[in-house]
Structure 1
């Protein structure tokens, strides 16, 4: 193992873009219109040792109920910690597998009380639902249930309660950790995050992550990703790389995992399996190197002594072309390149036009697609989609009454937009004749969401799409069809409680979206892709409204009422504020990054 590869084994974090000055967790706690949101919880990166309550002698019944909800966050041994608060008969009847609901602002209201029996009504706000495999789904609504308690040997115990687990949100956040499983995009060229919430110690975490990886992606992603881990199994325990017994599987010596059935895979499939495993473990801050074998033999002889993230860098989920393509802007209806000293006009159609309303650059920066004002009077189409080389001639692809800001796919030169607020289309170039072809995208699953789509942005891995529909934020899955077409499926709300209509959005990473909302106090927030958290970004220096957002892993760019500003996600929390973009100081523009 070379010294260079040893230095590459440092622990990494794939969540730096989610730093925030205030946190709203769970997706249901609304952001206010006129005051800063209160920080009600954070997600801890380091292992957390959380003690759950045990029944206290002489405890009053209402306080015992609150202790029970706290203990319910420990799922070990069929929620044994919580069952201590139940009578034996109630413990036998309680089905803890029926559902898992995360609630906030729990009220314990007395209904009746006698010497040896008491009844309470539990009321709370539903903020989330935890499904099999730690899948979090943001929900909203009221929760209400009745619970009866009886005295057993002079101590209050719960005698009757509804099926399912109820978890108080603050305790849930202390007990569960959010981790990402990584699956493969359809082309097998990058990995795609699948967020899960897991209750496990750091020693248990490697085995739990590999178990979930083998079990496969959540249903919403199953038709859009590949899973090489689903073709193997792990029979022996995970061990330290030096061969000592695992129990833990964590330590300075790294990990050793032997996959049964991996020897039947071809070399490419084994390398893709390694990519999934390495990124999943590295993102969970489990130190490598990762010695991966299949039926006792190395998955790849080149890495017999262990894999690092450098060995799977080609599938890096955080890779971006923003630094190589650079920042561009839309100024006075034309595309410009931005540098530290100012802007420079671009050659070709996009740099000389004066009627561009929005524009998107392809992932490699070579192509552009722009919505231009046709200048035609109504009822003639007033918007035209122009596509072509970024420094060359553009070809009109279609005309319509309106079109959303274009967005480019990752693996093919195709641009997506929403026509007249309802129809999603892809524009590709016919490989035979070279003509631009407009193809419909199946959006049947989006129909129940609302009337008008005002924003559509494809994730960098191409597997998800973020949308604004009637001011609300959704994430849908991009599913390839056998006929070569695509569908947007399984849309999920991810910004419940946003408080104000969403105006613009963009992907900062595969795990988070930056959203500009119609509010002056907190105009920009970051939202987790599973809806489990909403982070208020700083508002210092911004003047509402914020009309446009473009983001990368490290930086968020916005256009407000005055100028273009940037927020560096790597700045210390106390020094994070919006700064004017060098080169665009005093210029009214729209920031443009690839995608």
Structure 2
């Protein structure tokens, strides 16, 4: 057996460089001519797949097969199948998903078998759902080979799917947001999927995914104007002049759907692909009416808790918010705000109170030995958790008794931090359990009055991180969380479906706040400083001192 051979993530990049060598050069002679003044947007690097090489050994054949499969992610995998023999040519399913690996090690474990060891950073399933894996994630893939009549090695068994590097994913996949609806249809709710970005049928893939509905983890928390059983017939979205034509069946079911909401979901999902409007046909007839005006979440102004007072930072210098009294308590902290005038905070680590209006007393909403920093959803429910013991989340509101909200996955786990999304359908939870600390996102299932009932099954986010608490939504599909690494406390941007990105270290980081976009991200330090992320580094917010909490609406 041969010694293991390790191939790092630069493998495909090297193949790209080889493919491009000699293809592009600047002219050094000839006449000067006028250009047309038009600059076309670059379409990225095109990597050409190469077929099997003569006299290649088993490990070389497997390596060539993986390279060809990665190069043909957006094609029909004709070249990759040249590495296969017999039934494997038709049975291998490259569309079953993609394993994203930082490095690959090949080992001939017998004369006819090659094992590939993978340092995995994430996976894309057959529905386009990306899941980041833990830093210790390792996987093995087994390939069986045979020599043909000419003495050339070919693969008789290959795992379904393709193996790609992070660079290949960045170059050849595109994150597309599918838009669903809140249960009351008042807001759009996003879910990100990943599709091969050079696929000529990308609009078709997006529409099919939208018709299939949200992922299981989100399904019970949202709604859709797409009726059950509706299909794309014919199975292609035709695009001409920025208008997409979508033909749906069965006719009767489509005609009974809420056309405005259906068009809103379709148009919002297809707009990033250069599609301005959508025509829906049912039985060859174009449905009349336009898309309903369904908003996504909006931002707001930052307020901070400083010395127990709620302070606005919108003016030339910080000033207390009018008609809002101070938070009375031993250690006011953890400010949170609703979309109206509702503000809440921790009066001390174990007492959750409303921030009183001037001349009015605050109301105690929950109490315990230690409570998580609160979050207020768009329905006016205030969320927290008892951080000293394992148990359910707590949802409450002024004038109402607290409600325990749990999910099966929280059993035996202690919640360290939480934050509800602006649309109220999802919640991010940092929790500790026997398997360590994790960041999970789950759907919030509510009753007809929007009162929370339970949490759905979660998806793991930021699996490579060791969160220390403090989580916020930076936008509709991205979180920020504090995590520890060798450098200290590091804020990270964590997509619900995507790879985490570290930001510069913040010494003594204790809390986070964000509105809409990473440039609204703020950190509160243990020393009471307020820092804002400017896209490259952290800058001190002038005049903000003795800060113990910060919050945008929602």
TM exceeding 0.5: yes
Aligned to 2:81: 83
For the pair 1:177 / 2:153, whether they are aligned, the reply is no
Structure 2, unaligned runs of 5 or more: 1-8, 10-40
Kept in 1, the 8 Å contact 2:327–2:347? The answer is: no
- Determine helix, strand or coil for the equivalent of 2:226: helix
- Determine helix, strand or coil for the equivalent of 1:437: coil
Counterparts of 1:478 and 1:493 in 2: how far apart (Å)?
15
Counterparts of 1:165 and 1:327 in 2: how far apart (Å)?
46
Aligned partner of 1:465 among 416, 423, 427: 427
Return closer, same or farther for 1:119/1:220 CA change in 2, 3 Å cut-off.
Answer: same
For the pair 1:123 / 2:117, whether they are aligned, the reply is yes
Counterparts of 2:332 and 2:52 in 1: how far apart (Å)?
67
For the pair 1:580 / 2:545, whether they are aligned, the reply is no
Counterparts of 1:352 and 1:192 in 2: how far apart (Å)?
34
When normalised by structure 1's length, the TM-score is 0.75
Return closer, same or farther for 1:345/1:165 CA change in 2, 3 Å cut-off.
Answer: same
Counterparts of 1:224 and 1:48 in 2: how far apart (Å)?
40
Instruction: Please provide the CA RMSD for this pair.
Output: 3.2
When normalised by structure 2's length, the TM-score is 0.80
Structure 1, unaligned runs of 5 or more: 1-24, 26-43, 240-245, 374-381, 430-434, 570-575
> Displacement of 1:485 after TM fit?
4.1
Kept in 1, the 8 Å contact 2:392–2:410? The answer is: no
State how many pairs are aligned: 497
Aligned to 1:320: 298
Q: How does 1:53-452 map to 2 (within 5 A)?
A: 53-73=50-70, 74=72, 79-91=77-89, 94=92, 101-112=99-110, 117-140=111-134, 141-154=137-150, 156-161=152-157, 163-170=159-166, 171-199=168-196, 201=198, 203-231=200-228, 232-236=230-234, 246=238, 249=239, 252-260=241-249, 269-282=258-271, 284-295=272-283, 299-301=287-289, 303=290, 312=293, 314-316=294-296, 319-322=297-300, 326-346=301-321, 350-351=325-326, 353=328, 355-364=331-340, 366-373=341-348, 383-387=350-354, 393-410=361-378, 412-421=379-388, 422-429=391-398, 435-447=399-411, 451-452=413-414
Aligned to 1:32: none
Question: RCO higher in 1 or 2 (8 Å CA, sep ≥ 6)?
Answer: 1
- CA deviation digits over 1:35-68, x for unaligned, max 9? xxxxxxxxx9967744334323344433332221
Kept in 1, the 8 Å contact 2:384–2:395? The answer is: yes
> Displacement of 1:70 after TM fit?
2.8
Q: Which moved more, 1:546-555 or 1:388-397?
A: 388-397
> Displacement of 1:315 after TM fit?
2.1
Counterparts of 1:293 and 1:48 in 2: how far apart (Å)?
37
Counterparts of 2:114 and 2:235 in 1: how far apart (Å)?
46
Return closer, same or farther for 1:526/1:200 CA change in 2, 3 Å cut-off.
Answer: closer
Return closer, same or farther for 1:146/1:132 CA change in 2, 3 Å cut-off.
Answer: closer
Counterparts of 1:135 and 1:87 in 2: how far apart (Å)?
30
Return closer, same or farther for 1:93/1:270 CA change in 2, 3 Å cut-off.
Answer: closer
Aligned to 1:505: 471
Kept in 2, the 8 Å contact 1:271–1:299? The answer is: no
